[in-house]
Structure 1
Amino acid sequence: MNFALILFLITLATGILWLIDVLYARKLRAPGSKNPIWVEWGASLFPVILAVFALRSFVVEPFKIPSGSMIPTLQVGDYILVNKFTYGLRLPIIGTEIVGGNAVERGDVVVFRYPPEPNVDYIKRVIGLPGDTVSYQNKQLSINGVPVPRKAEPDYLHPDRMYYSKQYQETLNGVTYDTLNDSDAPAFVPDVARFPYRDQCRYDSNGFVCKVPADHYFVMGDNRDNSKDSRVWGFVPDANIVGKAFFIWFHWGDLGRIGSFR
Protein backbone atom coordinates (compact mmCIF):
# COMPACT_ATOMS: atom_id res chain seq x y z
CA MET A 1 0.00 0.00 0.00
CA ASN A 2 1.41 3.39 -1.03
CA PHE A 3 0.41 5.41 2.02
CA ALA A 4 2.13 8.56 0.72
CA LEU A 5 0.00 8.47 -2.43
CA ILE A 6 -3.19 7.86 -0.45
CA LEU A 7 -2.40 10.76 1.89
CA PHE A 8 -1.65 13.00 -1.09
CA LEU A 9 -5.00 12.15 -2.70
CA ILE A 10 -6.85 12.82 0.56
CA THR A 11 -5.02 16.15 0.90
CA LEU A 12 -5.91 17.04 -2.69
CA ALA A 13 -9.58 16.09 -2.26
CA THR A 14 -10.05 17.99 1.00
CA GLY A 15 -8.15 20.94 -0.48
CA ILE A 16 -10.57 21.13 -3.41
CA LEU A 17 -13.52 21.05 -1.01
CA TRP A 18 -11.91 23.77 1.10
CA LEU A 19 -11.44 26.00 -1.94
CA ILE A 20 -15.04 25.46 -3.06
CA ASP A 21 -16.25 26.40 0.41
CA VAL A 22 -14.02 29.48 0.76
CA LEU A 23 -14.52 30.87 -2.75
CA TYR A 24 -18.16 29.97 -3.37
CA ALA A 25 -20.33 27.91 -1.00
CA ARG A 26 -19.62 29.88 2.18
CA LYS A 27 -20.98 33.06 0.57
CA LEU A 28 -24.32 31.36 -0.19
CA ARG A 29 -24.98 30.08 3.34
CA ALA A 30 -27.16 32.10 5.65
CA PRO A 31 -25.29 33.72 8.55
CA GLY A 32 -25.18 31.39 11.57
CA SER A 33 -26.39 28.37 9.61
CA LYS A 34 -24.90 24.95 10.27
CA ASN A 35 -22.14 23.79 7.96
CA PRO A 36 -23.11 20.95 5.61
CA ILE A 37 -21.58 17.51 6.11
CA TRP A 38 -19.12 17.90 3.22
CA VAL A 39 -17.67 20.96 4.95
CA GLU A 40 -17.54 19.36 8.42
CA TRP A 41 -15.89 16.15 7.19
CA GLY A 42 -13.99 17.47 4.20
CA ALA A 43 -13.10 21.11 3.85
CA SER A 44 -12.64 21.74 7.58
CA LEU A 45 -10.11 18.89 7.84
CA PHE A 46 -7.93 20.22 5.03
CA PRO A 47 -5.55 22.36 7.18
CA VAL A 48 -4.90 19.45 9.53
CA ILE A 49 -4.37 16.92 6.74
CA LEU A 50 -2.15 19.37 4.86
CA ALA A 51 0.02 19.83 7.96
CA VAL A 52 0.33 16.05 8.41
CA PHE A 53 1.19 15.58 4.74
CA ALA A 54 3.86 18.32 4.83
CA LEU A 55 5.38 17.02 8.08
CA ARG A 56 5.48 13.44 6.84
CA SER A 57 6.81 14.39 3.40
CA PHE A 58 9.53 16.87 4.32
CA VAL A 59 10.42 16.59 8.02
CA VAL A 60 9.94 13.25 9.76
CA GLU A 61 8.06 10.03 9.03
CA PRO A 62 7.13 7.20 11.42
CA PHE A 63 8.04 3.66 10.40
CA LYS A 64 7.41 0.27 12.02
CA ILE A 65 10.05 -2.45 11.84
CA PRO A 66 8.34 -5.44 10.19
CA SER A 67 11.11 -8.06 10.22
CA GLY A 68 14.19 -9.24 12.09
CA SER A 69 16.75 -8.34 9.41
CA MET A 70 18.19 -5.49 11.51
CA ILE A 71 18.45 -7.38 14.82
CA PRO A 72 20.12 -6.59 17.22
CA THR A 73 20.05 -2.87 16.30
CA LEU A 74 16.31 -2.86 15.61
CA GLN A 75 13.74 -5.35 16.84
CA VAL A 76 10.49 -6.46 15.21
CA GLY A 77 7.81 -4.06 16.39
CA ASP A 78 10.07 -1.06 17.01
CA TYR A 79 8.43 2.21 15.99
CA ILE A 80 11.10 4.53 14.63
CA LEU A 81 11.37 8.03 13.22
CA VAL A 82 12.96 8.74 9.86
CA ASN A 83 14.60 12.09 9.12
CA LYS A 84 13.28 13.16 5.71
CA PHE A 85 15.48 16.23 5.15
CA THR A 86 18.99 15.18 6.21
CA TYR A 87 19.79 13.93 2.68
CA GLY A 88 17.91 16.79 1.02
CA LEU A 89 14.27 17.52 0.31
CA ARG A 90 12.49 15.39 -2.26
CA LEU A 91 9.09 15.77 -3.86
CA PRO A 92 6.51 13.40 -2.36
CA ILE A 93 5.50 10.34 -4.40
CA ILE A 94 8.04 10.80 -7.24
CA GLY A 95 11.13 11.34 -5.05
CA THR A 96 12.79 14.03 -7.20
CA GLU A 97 15.33 16.02 -5.19
CA ILE A 98 14.52 19.74 -4.95
CA VAL A 99 17.01 20.82 -2.26
CA GLY A 100 20.36 19.16 -1.65
CA GLY A 101 21.44 17.88 1.75
CA ASN A 102 24.07 15.76 3.44
CA ALA A 103 25.62 12.85 1.61
CA VAL A 104 24.62 9.31 2.49
CA GLU A 105 27.46 7.77 4.51
CA ARG A 106 28.63 4.25 5.25
CA GLY A 107 27.09 3.05 8.48
CA ASP A 108 23.86 5.06 8.11
CA VAL A 109 20.61 3.18 8.74
CA VAL A 110 18.31 4.25 5.91
CA VAL A 111 14.73 3.70 4.81
CA PHE A 112 14.35 3.35 1.05
CA ARG A 113 11.89 2.22 -1.58
CA TYR A 114 12.58 -1.46 -2.30
CA PRO A 115 13.94 -1.53 -5.88
CA PRO A 116 11.91 -4.56 -7.10
CA GLU A 117 8.72 -3.09 -5.56
CA PRO A 118 9.02 0.70 -5.14
CA ASN A 119 5.71 0.88 -3.25
CA VAL A 120 7.31 -1.05 -0.38
CA ASP A 121 9.67 0.58 2.14
CA TYR A 122 12.73 -1.30 3.42
CA ILE A 123 15.28 -0.45 6.10
CA LYS A 124 18.95 -1.54 6.03
CA ARG A 125 22.43 -0.24 6.84
CA VAL A 126 24.49 1.44 4.12
CA ILE A 127 27.67 -0.55 3.55
CA GLY A 128 28.96 0.61 0.17
CA LEU A 129 28.90 4.01 -1.55
CA PRO A 130 29.09 4.68 -5.30
CA GLY A 131 32.43 3.42 -6.60
CA ASP A 132 33.16 1.20 -3.58
CA THR A 133 34.12 -2.44 -3.91
CA VAL A 134 32.25 -4.40 -1.24
CA SER A 135 33.47 -7.87 -0.33
CA TYR A 136 31.87 -10.35 2.06
CA GLN A 137 34.03 -13.46 2.06
CA ASN A 138 33.65 -16.12 4.74
CA LYS A 139 31.45 -13.62 6.59
CA GLN A 140 34.19 -11.00 6.83
CA LEU A 141 33.16 -7.63 5.42
CA SER A 142 35.74 -5.59 3.50
CA ILE A 143 35.45 -2.21 1.75
CA ASN A 144 37.89 -1.42 -1.05
CA GLY A 145 40.12 -4.26 0.06
CA VAL A 146 40.26 -3.18 3.72
CA PRO A 147 38.60 -5.48 6.27
CA VAL A 148 36.00 -3.71 8.39
CA PRO A 149 37.18 -3.91 12.03
CA ARG A 150 35.14 -6.20 14.23
CA LYS A 151 35.47 -7.90 17.59
CA ALA A 152 33.61 -10.82 19.11
CA GLU A 153 30.97 -10.18 21.75
CA PRO A 154 28.90 -12.60 23.86
CA ASP A 155 26.50 -14.73 21.82
CA TYR A 156 23.09 -13.19 21.23
CA LEU A 157 20.03 -15.06 22.49
CA HIS A 158 16.94 -14.68 20.31
CA PRO A 159 14.15 -14.56 22.90
CA ASP A 160 11.40 -15.44 20.45
CA ARG A 161 13.03 -18.61 19.12
CA MET A 162 15.46 -19.44 21.94
CA TYR A 163 18.61 -19.95 19.95
CA TYR A 164 21.99 -18.23 19.92
CA SER A 165 23.78 -16.31 17.17
CA LYS A 166 27.39 -15.23 17.08
CA GLN A 167 27.58 -11.50 17.81
CA TYR A 168 30.24 -9.08 16.64
CA GLN A 169 30.84 -5.39 17.18
CA GLU A 170 31.62 -3.83 13.80
CA THR A 171 32.98 -0.32 13.15
CA LEU A 172 32.34 1.32 9.79
CA ASN A 173 33.18 4.95 9.05
CA GLY A 174 33.40 5.67 12.78
CA VAL A 175 29.96 4.13 13.42
CA THR A 176 29.97 1.19 15.85
CA TYR A 177 27.12 -1.33 15.82
CA ASP A 178 26.47 -5.01 16.47
CA THR A 179 25.94 -7.71 13.85
CA LEU A 180 24.82 -11.33 14.08
CA ASN A 181 26.03 -14.47 12.32
CA ASP A 182 24.62 -18.00 12.52
CA SER A 183 27.32 -20.65 12.66
CA ASP A 184 25.26 -23.15 10.67
CA ALA A 185 24.41 -20.72 7.85
CA PRO A 186 26.48 -21.00 4.65
CA ALA A 187 28.82 -18.23 3.51
CA PHE A 188 27.53 -18.27 -0.07
CA VAL A 189 24.52 -16.18 -1.14
CA PRO A 190 21.48 -18.25 -2.22
CA ASP A 191 18.69 -17.25 -4.62
CA VAL A 192 20.44 -14.27 -6.23
CA ALA A 193 18.09 -12.28 -8.47
CA ARG A 194 18.83 -10.86 -11.92
CA PHE A 195 19.08 -7.23 -10.84
CA PRO A 196 20.41 -4.13 -12.70
CA TYR A 197 24.24 -4.04 -12.74
CA ARG A 198 24.33 -7.71 -11.78
CA ASP A 199 27.51 -7.95 -13.88
CA GLN A 200 29.25 -5.77 -11.27
CA CYS A 201 29.10 -8.66 -8.78
CA ARG A 202 30.97 -11.92 -8.52
CA TYR A 203 29.57 -14.75 -6.39
CA ASP A 204 31.36 -17.88 -5.19
CA SER A 205 31.10 -20.47 -2.42
CA ASN A 206 32.72 -18.07 0.06
CA GLY A 207 30.45 -15.08 -0.53
CA PHE A 208 30.59 -12.23 -3.04
CA VAL A 209 32.45 -9.17 -4.32
CA CYS A 210 30.47 -6.23 -5.78
CA LYS A 211 31.47 -2.94 -7.38
CA VAL A 212 28.84 -0.31 -6.51
CA PRO A 213 27.72 1.65 -9.61
CA ALA A 214 27.36 5.44 -9.73
CA ASP A 215 24.33 6.91 -7.92
CA HIS A 216 23.66 3.63 -6.10
CA TYR A 217 24.31 2.15 -2.65
CA PHE A 218 24.99 -1.31 -1.27
CA VAL A 219 22.97 -2.09 1.86
CA MET A 220 22.92 -5.01 4.29
CA GLY A 221 20.96 -6.02 7.37
CA ASP A 222 22.79 -6.30 10.70
CA ASN A 223 21.30 -9.79 11.11
CA ARG A 224 23.60 -10.97 8.35
CA ASP A 225 22.35 -14.53 7.83
CA ASN A 226 18.69 -13.54 8.08
CA SER A 227 18.49 -10.56 5.76
CA LYS A 228 17.63 -10.37 2.09
CA ASP A 229 19.46 -7.26 0.97
CA SER A 230 21.77 -5.96 -1.76
CA ARG A 231 23.49 -9.34 -1.83
CA VAL A 232 20.27 -10.86 -3.19
CA TRP A 233 18.25 -8.16 -5.00
CA GLY A 234 20.89 -5.59 -5.90
CA PHE A 235 21.80 -1.96 -5.43
CA VAL A 236 19.63 0.88 -4.11
CA PRO A 237 19.37 3.87 -6.48
CA ASP A 238 19.92 7.26 -4.85
CA ALA A 239 16.44 8.32 -6.00
CA ASN A 240 14.94 5.53 -3.82
CA ILE A 241 16.33 6.90 -0.55
CA VAL A 242 13.51 8.01 1.78
CA GLY A 243 15.50 9.18 4.81
CA LYS A 244 17.76 8.34 7.72
CA ALA A 245 16.43 6.39 10.69
CA PHE A 246 17.48 8.02 13.95
CA PHE A 247 15.13 7.32 16.88
CA ILE A 248 13.03 4.55 18.42
CA TRP A 249 9.93 6.29 19.76
CA PHE A 250 7.87 3.31 20.91
CA HIS A 251 7.76 -0.45 21.32
CA TRP A 252 4.74 -2.31 22.72
CA GLY A 253 5.77 -4.34 25.75
CA ASP A 254 9.32 -2.96 25.97
CA LEU A 255 9.39 0.74 26.75
CA GLY A 256 13.08 0.43 27.56
CA ARG A 257 13.79 0.41 23.82
CA ILE A 258 12.63 4.00 23.49
CA GLY A 259 15.60 6.16 22.51
CA SER A 260 18.22 6.51 19.82
CA PHE A 261 20.09 3.64 18.22
CA ARG A 262 23.42 3.24 16.44
Structure 2
Amino acid sequence: MSNSPNKIKEFGIESAKSIGFALLLFLGLHTYVAEARYVKSGSMLPTLEIQDRLMVDKLSYHFRNPERGEIIFFNPPEVLEKQNFHEMLVKRLIGLPGDKVEVKDGLVYVNDRPLVEKYIAEIPRYEFSAVVPPNSYLVLGDNRNDSYDSHAWGFVPRDRIVGRAAFRYYPFNRLGDPSH
Protein backbone atom coordinates (compact mmCIF):
# COMPACT_ATOMS: atom_id res chain seq x y z
CA MET A 1 0.00 0.00 0.00
CA SER A 2 2.90 2.40 0.63
CA ASN A 3 3.67 2.17 -3.07
CA SER A 4 0.19 3.36 -4.09
CA PRO A 5 0.68 7.12 -3.39
CA ASN A 6 3.89 7.07 -5.45
CA LYS A 7 2.09 5.42 -8.38
CA ILE A 8 -0.68 7.99 -8.19
CA LYS A 9 1.88 10.78 -8.08
CA GLU A 10 3.80 9.29 -11.06
CA PHE A 11 0.56 8.86 -12.99
CA GLY A 12 -0.36 12.51 -12.27
CA ILE A 13 3.05 13.75 -13.41
CA GLU A 14 2.97 11.65 -16.61
CA SER A 15 -0.59 12.78 -17.34
CA ALA A 16 0.37 16.44 -16.87
CA LYS A 17 3.36 15.98 -19.20
CA SER A 18 1.16 14.35 -21.86
CA ILE A 19 -1.48 17.06 -21.61
CA GLY A 20 1.18 19.77 -21.70
CA PHE A 21 2.83 18.24 -24.77
CA ALA A 22 -0.53 17.89 -26.54
CA LEU A 23 -1.37 21.51 -25.74
CA LEU A 24 2.00 22.74 -27.05
CA LEU A 25 1.60 20.64 -30.18
CA PHE A 26 -1.91 22.01 -30.77
CA LEU A 27 -0.82 25.61 -30.20
CA GLY A 28 2.18 25.17 -32.50
CA LEU A 29 0.05 23.67 -35.27
CA HIS A 30 -2.63 26.35 -34.84
CA THR A 31 -0.10 29.19 -34.84
CA TYR A 32 2.22 28.06 -37.63
CA VAL A 33 0.61 25.33 -39.75
CA ALA A 34 -3.18 25.43 -40.08
CA GLU A 35 -6.27 27.00 -38.60
CA ALA A 36 -9.97 26.36 -39.00
CA ARG A 37 -12.07 29.39 -40.02
CA TYR A 38 -15.61 30.08 -41.08
CA VAL A 39 -17.01 32.61 -43.53
CA LYS A 40 -18.91 35.45 -41.87
CA SER A 41 -20.04 37.57 -44.83
CA GLY A 42 -21.36 37.29 -48.36
CA SER A 43 -18.43 39.13 -49.96
CA MET A 44 -17.09 35.92 -51.52
CA LEU A 45 -20.39 34.61 -52.91
CA PRO A 46 -20.93 32.45 -54.88
CA THR A 47 -17.57 30.75 -54.20
CA LEU A 48 -17.81 30.85 -50.41
CA GLU A 49 -21.14 30.90 -48.66
CA ILE A 50 -21.84 32.31 -45.22
CA GLN A 51 -20.95 29.67 -42.59
CA ASP A 52 -18.66 27.67 -44.93
CA ARG A 53 -15.89 26.09 -42.85
CA LEU A 54 -12.36 26.28 -44.26
CA MET A 55 -8.92 25.08 -43.30
CA VAL A 56 -6.36 27.87 -43.63
CA ASP A 57 -2.88 26.77 -44.73
CA LYS A 58 -0.49 29.01 -42.77
CA LEU A 59 2.68 27.19 -43.77
CA SER A 60 2.91 27.50 -47.58
CA TYR A 61 3.58 31.23 -47.67
CA HIS A 62 6.71 30.73 -45.56
CA PHE A 63 8.18 28.92 -48.58
CA ARG A 64 6.54 30.69 -51.54
CA ASN A 65 4.71 33.90 -52.36
CA PRO A 66 0.94 34.12 -52.65
CA GLU A 67 -0.35 33.56 -56.19
CA ARG A 68 -3.03 35.29 -58.23
CA GLY A 69 -6.39 33.58 -57.94
CA GLU A 70 -5.82 32.11 -54.49
CA ILE A 71 -8.33 32.81 -51.75
CA ILE A 72 -6.40 34.27 -48.83
CA PHE A 73 -7.04 35.10 -45.20
CA PHE A 74 -5.40 38.24 -43.88
CA ASN A 75 -5.40 40.52 -40.88
CA PRO A 76 -6.93 43.93 -41.58
CA PRO A 77 -4.50 46.56 -42.90
CA GLU A 78 -4.09 49.70 -40.76
CA VAL A 79 -6.69 51.62 -42.77
CA LEU A 80 -9.29 49.00 -41.78
CA GLU A 81 -8.12 48.80 -38.18
CA LYS A 82 -8.84 52.53 -37.92
CA GLN A 83 -12.39 51.69 -39.05
CA ASN A 84 -12.70 49.10 -36.23
CA PHE A 85 -12.08 46.01 -38.37
CA HIS A 86 -10.13 43.62 -36.17
CA GLU A 87 -11.05 40.12 -37.34
CA MET A 88 -9.34 38.18 -40.12
CA LEU A 89 -10.77 38.78 -43.61
CA VAL A 90 -11.05 36.52 -46.66
CA LYS A 91 -10.80 37.65 -50.31
CA ARG A 92 -9.42 36.51 -53.66
CA LEU A 93 -5.90 37.65 -54.55
CA ILE A 94 -6.00 39.54 -57.86
CA GLY A 95 -2.98 41.85 -57.99
CA LEU A 96 0.64 40.97 -57.22
CA PRO A 97 3.35 43.51 -56.40
CA GLY A 98 4.00 45.70 -59.46
CA ASP A 99 0.81 44.68 -61.28
CA LYS A 100 -1.40 47.29 -62.93
CA VAL A 101 -4.99 46.39 -62.08
CA GLU A 102 -7.98 48.02 -63.74
CA VAL A 103 -11.69 47.40 -63.47
CA LYS A 104 -13.55 48.83 -66.43
CA ASP A 105 -16.42 47.91 -68.71
CA GLY A 106 -17.39 45.05 -66.41
CA LEU A 107 -14.00 43.31 -66.56
CA VAL A 108 -10.89 43.09 -64.40
CA TYR A 109 -7.63 43.67 -66.26
CA VAL A 110 -4.22 42.78 -64.90
CA ASN A 111 -1.34 44.32 -66.85
CA ASP A 112 -3.78 45.17 -69.68
CA ARG A 113 -5.01 41.56 -70.01
CA PRO A 114 -8.57 40.65 -69.01
CA LEU A 115 -8.96 38.02 -66.30
CA VAL A 116 -11.22 35.08 -67.02
CA GLU A 117 -13.35 34.95 -63.88
CA LYS A 118 -15.88 32.13 -63.85
CA TYR A 119 -16.23 32.44 -60.07
CA ILE A 120 -17.69 35.96 -59.70
CA ALA A 121 -21.31 36.64 -58.73
CA GLU A 122 -21.78 39.30 -61.40
CA ILE A 123 -19.65 41.66 -63.43
CA PRO A 124 -18.32 44.68 -61.52
CA ARG A 125 -20.37 47.85 -61.88
CA TYR A 126 -17.55 50.16 -60.84
CA GLU A 127 -14.30 51.44 -62.28
CA PHE A 128 -10.93 51.25 -60.59
CA SER A 129 -7.28 51.58 -61.52
CA ALA A 130 -4.09 51.14 -59.48
CA VAL A 131 -0.56 49.81 -59.53
CA VAL A 132 0.13 47.41 -56.66
CA PRO A 133 3.03 48.67 -54.52
CA PRO A 134 6.02 46.48 -53.54
CA ASN A 135 5.32 43.96 -50.75
CA SER A 136 1.58 44.47 -51.17
CA TYR A 137 -1.34 42.69 -52.79
CA LEU A 138 -4.70 43.67 -54.24
CA VAL A 139 -7.69 41.57 -53.17
CA LEU A 140 -11.29 41.54 -54.39
CA GLY A 141 -14.33 39.65 -53.19
CA ASP A 142 -15.97 37.33 -55.70
CA ASN A 143 -19.21 39.18 -54.99
CA ARG A 144 -17.64 42.18 -56.74
CA ASN A 145 -20.46 44.68 -56.23
CA ASP A 146 -21.09 43.79 -52.60
CA SER A 147 -17.57 43.44 -51.25
CA TYR A 148 -15.61 45.94 -49.19
CA ASP A 149 -12.19 45.17 -50.65
CA SER A 150 -9.05 46.69 -52.20
CA HIS A 151 -11.01 48.76 -54.71
CA ALA A 152 -12.46 50.65 -51.71
CA TRP A 153 -9.64 50.74 -49.15
CA GLY A 154 -6.32 49.85 -50.79
CA PHE A 155 -3.76 47.09 -50.56
CA VAL A 156 -2.88 44.24 -48.20
CA PRO A 157 0.74 44.39 -46.97
CA ARG A 158 2.53 41.03 -47.29
CA ASP A 159 3.04 40.79 -43.54
CA ARG A 160 -0.75 40.89 -42.96
CA ILE A 161 -1.40 37.74 -45.01
CA VAL A 162 -2.03 34.77 -42.71
CA GLY A 163 -2.53 31.99 -45.23
CA ARG A 164 -4.58 30.56 -48.05
CA ALA A 165 -7.92 28.79 -48.00
CA ALA A 166 -6.72 25.24 -48.61
CA PHE A 167 -9.77 23.08 -48.00
CA ARG A 168 -13.50 23.47 -47.40
CA TYR A 169 -14.53 20.86 -44.85
CA TYR A 170 -18.14 21.97 -44.35
CA PRO A 171 -20.77 21.74 -45.71
CA PHE A 172 -20.05 18.14 -46.60
CA ASN A 173 -21.68 18.37 -50.02
CA ARG A 174 -19.12 21.03 -51.03
CA LEU A 175 -15.90 19.49 -49.65
CA GLY A 176 -12.66 20.33 -51.40
CA ASP A 177 -10.59 23.17 -52.83
CA PRO A 178 -12.55 26.39 -52.32
CA SER A 179 -10.63 28.39 -54.96
CA HIS A 180 -12.71 27.10 -57.87
1:259 has 2:176 as partner: yes
1:225 aligns with 2:145: yes
Q: 1 CA distance for matches of 2:108 and 2:141?
A: 12
Deviations 1:107-142 (A, max 9, x none): 111111111237420111110011111101132111
Q: TM-score, normalised by structure 2?
A: 0.84
Match of 2:88 in 1: 121
Unpaired segments ≥5 residues, structure 1 = 1-29, 89-100, 150-169, 171-176, 189-206
Q: Hey, which of these two has a bigger chunk of strand by percent?
A: 1
| 1:243 counterpart SS class | strand
Where does residue 178 of structure 1 map in the other structure?
119
CA distance in 2, matches of 1:233, 1:41: 50
Q: CA deviation at 1:59?
A: 1.6
**1:76, 1:83 → 2: CA distance?**
20
2:13 aligned with 1:31: no
Q: Per-residue CA shift, 1:134-188, capped at 9, x if unaligned?
A: 1011321111112223xxxxxxxxxxxxxxxxxxxx1xxxxxx410127xxx834
Within a 5 Å distance, the mapping from 1:60-99 to structure 2 comes to: 60-88=34-62
Query: Please, which runs of 5 or more residues in structure 2 have no aligned partner?
Result: none
- CA displacement 1:67-94 (0-9 Å, x = unmatched): 1111111111111011111110xxxxxx
Q: Give the percent of matched residue pairs that are identical in Structure 1 and Structure 2.
A: 36
Any idea what the Cα deviations from partners look like across 1:7-62, whole Å, max 9, x if unmatched?
xxxxxxxxxxxxxxxxxxxxxxx624559x9x899776321211111111222111
Task: Give, in whole Å, the separation in 2 of the partners of 1:41 and 1:210.
Answer: 57
Please give the alpha-carbon distance, in whole angstroms, between the structure 2 residues aligned to 1:63 and 1:70.
14
Specify which of 115, 133, 146 is matched with residue 113 of structure 2: 146
CA distance in 1, matches of 2:151, 2:16: 46
Aligned-residue offset at 1:216? 0.1
Question: 2:125 maps to which residue?
Answer: 187
Partner of residue 129 from structure 2, selected from 209, 217, 234: 209
TM-score relative to the length of structure 1: 0.59
Q: Which has the higher contact order (CA 8 A, sep 6+)?
A: 2
The number of residue pairs the alignment matches comes to 169
Q: How does 1:100-111 map to 2 (within 5 A)?
A: 101-111=63-73
Question: Which of the two has higher C-alpha Rg?
Answer: 1
Partner of 1:166: none
- The one-letter code of the counterpart of 1:54 is G
Cα separation, partners in 2 of 1:56 and 1:142, compared to 1, 3 Å:
same
C-alpha distance in structure 2 between counterparts of 1:43 and 1:220, whole Å:
46
Q: CA RMSD in A?
A: 2.4
1: CA distance between counterparts of 2:128 and 2:103? 6
Letter in 2 for 1:31: N
**Aligned-partner SS, 2:60:** coil
